[in-house]
Amino acid sequence: MSCWAHATVGALEGALFRVTNRLVPLSEQVLVDCAKPYGGNGCSGTWPTAAYEYMKAEGIPALTDYPYEGKEQLCRANSVRPVQRTHISTHVNVTINNIVALKMAISKYGPTVVIIDGETLSFTSYKRGYYYDGRCRKGKLNHAVLAVGWTVHREETYFILKNSWSENWGEAGYVLMRAPTNTCGVLQQPTVPVLPQETELLG
């Protein structure tokens, strides 16, 4: 379960794009391999805060400099050629259980990390359409995804979530998740990284 690395790095890529207007793919693998001193747990899963602490202290290299391998390996962060690394200054804990707050975070900071229940069968087998399943647990958060926007269907908000299970899952890797019922806990724990250049947004 390297979803925590994919989601947080995706949020960081989005933040970097806001500042530079360039989409630079960054390394998820460096978090999988190297973030244990900060609370990381490789492919066994962990909370986004471990990724943020690593980003703040060590920085994230480009994907081309530290490619994704799909499994935990020995940390090579100090052996890759000296390249630019992207650091953050902090991260923001978005107000929980608040649709407007999550919308504002996406608008203000860009793609935002959310933690959901990713184990319900209807979610794992999702193909297309507007997703809601009352059996998807709000109190069982186990999967990190990226909220990149929202849409409205029948006067209800649905957040557009990017999953890390390849483009073969869902709608080319995305799901439209119903917001008013806090489906799968989508509103429970949103967070977003903040670049040093964007600290003025914290005010």
Query: Which candidate in 6, 34, 91, 163 is catalytic?
Result: 163
Work out the end-to-end distance of the chain between its first and last CA atoms, rounded to an integer number of angstroms: 35
Query: Which candidate in 3, 34, 136, 184 is catalytic?
Result: 3
Query: Which candidate in 6, 34, 136, 143 is catalytic?
Result: 143
Please say if 3 is a catalytic residue: yes
Please give the Cα distance from 148 to 81 (Å, whole number): 32
Residue 56 three-state SS: helix
Kindly report the three-state secondary structure assignment for every residue of 166-195.
Answer: CCCCCECCEEEEECCCCHHHCCCCCEEEEC
Please give the Cα distance from 186 to 141 (Å, whole number): 9
Structure tokens at 87: 């650091």
Question: Residue 66 in contact with residue 27, Cβ under 8 Å?
Answer: yes
Please say if 163 is a catalytic residue: yes
Please say if 98 is a catalytic residue: no
Place of tokens 């900060």: 38
Active site residues: 3, 143, 163
